[in-house]
Structure 1
Amino acid sequence: MTVTVARSSRDRQGHAGAGSRSGEHGSCIGEHIPASCKAFPADPCDHDRMPLRCLLVDDNAAFLREASLLLRREGVAVVGTASNTDDALRQARALRPDVVLVDIGLGDESGFDLATLLARDGAGENAEVIMISASAGTDYAELIAAGPAAGFLTKSELSANGIGRILGRS
């Protein structure tokens, strides 16, 4: 991966303006500087697409940390995390994510109710909702099909590719 820096052609040639012809301003040239070997593009197949902006909602703080780390490593911009309905609605309005990943069981609250509120109130603007759970999707198939969510992922299948498949981006 490289970082492109625009520099004057005179600077690149080492003239730094000295000895240049009157009126010469130099043209911009892209100079490529190697980036860190730890830096990866969001999607190695499509460098022009903005990273997917995600809000992650789960009542388990350890899962929020681990899932955020995993998704960021895969190029997803995790713009926020929430552990309850009120916080999720507030953050969805403020952050305007592309996708909201919602745990089905939010402690005493229901992820299905949150998905409905996001869709009904427009809190998520144009955000798609994907339901997540440690349990198999077959346990919730009818509720997922009847609700506003775009799809479902088990927590063990959570990945940028899994999200992209549901959203039709892969």
Structure 2
Amino acid sequence: MSLRCLLVDDSVRFLEAARALLERGGVEVVGIASTGAGAVSQARETAPDVVLVDLDLDLENGFDVAHRLVGDVPAVILISTHSREDFQELIADSPAHGFLHKSALSARAIRDVLGDTGPTARS
């Protein structure tokens, strides 16, 4: 079966575009959220395999949200329009499995980040 994903971003346009892109690639988007509280609630309700969290949420940062999701989800991937180099140390110190630039977002890219250590697709 497909990989189950929760998207967390404060841009409605990005959420719509990312959902369409990922679903075309075989990723089941089980929920969307625009805040950390919404992300935690959706994660508990939908039990995703992976949560994609934007680094720049309106009043929060994605690093804090990633820490709040630990224990509720198997994997978190941070996403941003900023380059990895801008946040390299913070990404390395975070509980996230990795980072994807929004322009590189795809089902394959998510699976590549998760690699052998990430959650497996549910059957």
Q: What TM-score comes out, normalization by structure 1 length?
A: 0.67
Greater share of helix: 2
Match of 1:105, SS state, is coil
Q: How many Å apart are 1:123 and its aligned residue? A: 2.5
What is the identity, as a one-letter code, of the residue corresponding to 2:72? A
Residue 52 in structure 1 maps to residue 3 in structure 2: yes
Higher Cα radius of gyration? 1
Distance in 2 (CA, whole Å) between partners of 1:62 and 1:153 is: 18
Provide Cα deviations, 1:121-161, integer angstroms capped at 9, x if missing partner: x222xx20000001111101100000100000000000011
1-side partners of 2:72 and 2:22: how far apart? 23
Amino acid corresponding to residue 78 of structure 2 in structure 1:
M
- Corresponding position of 1:150: 97
Cα RMSD for the two superposed structures = 0.8
Partner Cα separation in structure 1 for residue 45 and residue 59 of structure 2? 24
Counting strand residues as a fraction of each chain, which structure ranks higher?
Answer: 1
Aligned residues: 116
- Structure 2: which 5+ runs fail to align? 117-123
State the secondary structure of the residue aligned to 1:168. Answer: helix
Q: Deviations over 1:76-118 (max 9, x none)?
A: 0000000001110000011010000000010111110000011
Q: TM-score, normalised by structure 2?
A: 0.92
Residue in structure 2 matched with residue 108 of structure 1 by the alignment: 59
Q: Secondary structure at the match of 1:65?
A: helix
- The DSSP-based 3-state class of the residue aligned with 2:18 is helix
Percent identity for Structure 1 against Structure 2: 54
Residue 107 of structure 2 aligns with which residue?
160
